[in-house]
């Protein structure tokens, strides 16, 4: 399905870039990660500070994959400089599932990204671009409720229980995604990294169909789904594309050039400069070169959106991001 977002990307005369990451903007505002994940204005100010430093048509709510599980009742650990993480397992068996109820939208920190999107849209920051919300994917949410390793084991040991967990997660995420559309988001990034740990056959059974159940009723010209899976490989691509999302965003394990050769020129793929090895460990000059190399490798593909392969970490120095954007600018000017 073509959406306003996909038409914008495919119609661009220049290469576009959309690194995934908000937390590095906290270097500009002097706030902590813990504040940004609990206070929508702290987060919105970081987003706007990044945009002022490196103008972009894409504004994204921060990726925080603990929000939904916390709303269900899972325990979260907050550290000042780290992205929140889930502690322990809320569900350990079917008896726990019978006591588990999907939370109301707006419960606990589910209100934070919704408020970020609302603020950005209400103040006109998305008038010349796209404001994107952020949610977790269904299998990845189950992994945070039941445990990632344990959820992977369920694919063979108790697929019925896994199916019941996925139904609960999917029903909640459908309502949550609908809430983002309701506050005016132009789209949503759905992060489904745990699905990359499955075989293609298991992904086809326990992830893609549930993602599609969220995408299909909500995606429209005005509201795009961007599916993110930082662990997916080329072998997963065929099954992932069945989820119906308007755009698919991959991490470093994906052979992006080979993937682009397997899709038609209207199917948008995005990624995949590795946050750790490129944006954190490399020098600005190396970031510039690796960005340029990927742009050259994908030069024949207008359906490729340059991005980081995953969420950029809070400890990344902003001169790396400057080098990334400068490489894109220089490439477009040659």
Domain borders along the chain are: 4-333
CA angle 167, 170, 174 (to 5 degrees): 140
Q: Token digits for 21?
A: 């990451």
* pTM over 0.75, yes/no: yes
Dihedral sign computed on CA atoms, order 314, 318, 319, 320: positive
State the DSSP H helix or E strand holding residue 47, giving kind and residue range, or none if neither.
helix 40-53
CA pseudo-torsion sign 208, 225, 9, 230: negative
The percentage of the chain sitting over the pLDDT mark of 90, rounded to a whole number, equals: 94
Q: For 218-246, what is the mean pLDDT?
A: 98
Cα–Cα distance between 53 and 107 in angstroms, integer?
A: 33
CA count, 13 A, side-chain hemisphere, 22: 30
Q: List the beta bridge partners of residue 134.
A: 189
CATH architecture of 4-333: Alpha-Beta Barrel (3.20)
The residue written with tokens 């207008």 in the block is 302
pLDDT of 262 above 90: yes
Going from the C-alpha of 15 to that of each of 107, 117, 307, the distances in angstroms are: 39, 26, 11
Tell me the per-residue pLDDT of 33-80, one tens digit each, with 9 for 90 and over.
Answer: 999 999 999 999 999 999 999 999 999 999 999 999 999 999 999 988
In what helix (H) or strand (E) does residue 269 lie, and over which residues does it extend? strand 268-273
Calculate ∠ Cα 292-239-269, nearest 5°.
20
Whether 226 and 190 have beta carbons less than 8 Å apart is answered as yes
Residue 40, both tokens: 């929508």
Question: What confidence category does residue 126 fall into, taking pLDDT thresholds of 50, 70 and 90?
Answer: confident
Res 145: pLDDT: 98
- Note the pLDDT tens digit of each residue in 180-215: 999 999 999 999 999 999 999 999 999 999 999 999
Task: Check: CB of residue 251 under 8 Å from CB of residue 271.
Answer: yes
Three-state secondary-structure class, residue 178: helix
10 Å CB burial of residue 158 (0-12, 13-18, 19+) is middle
């Amino acid at each position: 399905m073509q959406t306003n977002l996909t038409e914008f990307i495919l119609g661009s005369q220049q290469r576009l870039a959309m690194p995934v990451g908000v937390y590095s903007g906290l270097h500009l505002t002097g706030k902590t990660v813990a504040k940004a994940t609990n206070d929508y204005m702290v987060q919105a100010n970081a987003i706007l500070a990044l945009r002022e430093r490196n103008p972009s048509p894409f504004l994204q709510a921060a990726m925080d994959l603990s929000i939904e599980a916390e709303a269900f009742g899972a325990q979260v650990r907050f550290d000042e400089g780290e992205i929140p993480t889930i502690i322990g397992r809320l569900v350990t068996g079917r008896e726990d599932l019978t006591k588990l109820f999907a939370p109301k939208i707006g419960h606990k920190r589910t209100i934070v990204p919704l408020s970020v999107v609302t603020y950005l849209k209400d103040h006109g920051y998305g008038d010349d671009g796209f404001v994107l919300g952020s949610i977790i994917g269904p299998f990845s949410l189950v992994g945070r409720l039941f445990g990632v390793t344990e959820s992977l084991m369920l694919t063979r040991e108790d697929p019925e229980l896994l199916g019941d967990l996925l139904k609960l997660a999917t029903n909640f995420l459908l309502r949550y995604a609908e809430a983002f559309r309701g506050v005016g988001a132009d789209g949503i990034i759905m992060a489904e990294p745990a699905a990359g740990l499955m075989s293609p056959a298991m992904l086809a059974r326990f992830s893609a169909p549930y993602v599609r159940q969220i995408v299909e009723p909500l995606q429209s010209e005005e509201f795009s789904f961007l599916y993110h899976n930082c662990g997916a490989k080329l072998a997963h691509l065929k099954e992932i594309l069945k989820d119906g999302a308007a755009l698919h965003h991959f991490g470093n394990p994906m052979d992006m050039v080979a993937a682009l050769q397997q899709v038609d020129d209207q199917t948008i793929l995005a990624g995949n400069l590795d946050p750790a090895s490129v944006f954190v460990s490399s020098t600005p000059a190396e970031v510039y070169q690796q960005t340029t190399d990927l742009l050259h490798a994908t030069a024949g593909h207008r359906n490729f959106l340059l991005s980081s392969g995953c969420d950029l970490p809070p400890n990344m120095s902003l001169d790396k991001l400057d080098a990334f954007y400068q490489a894109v600018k220089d490439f477009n000017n040659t």
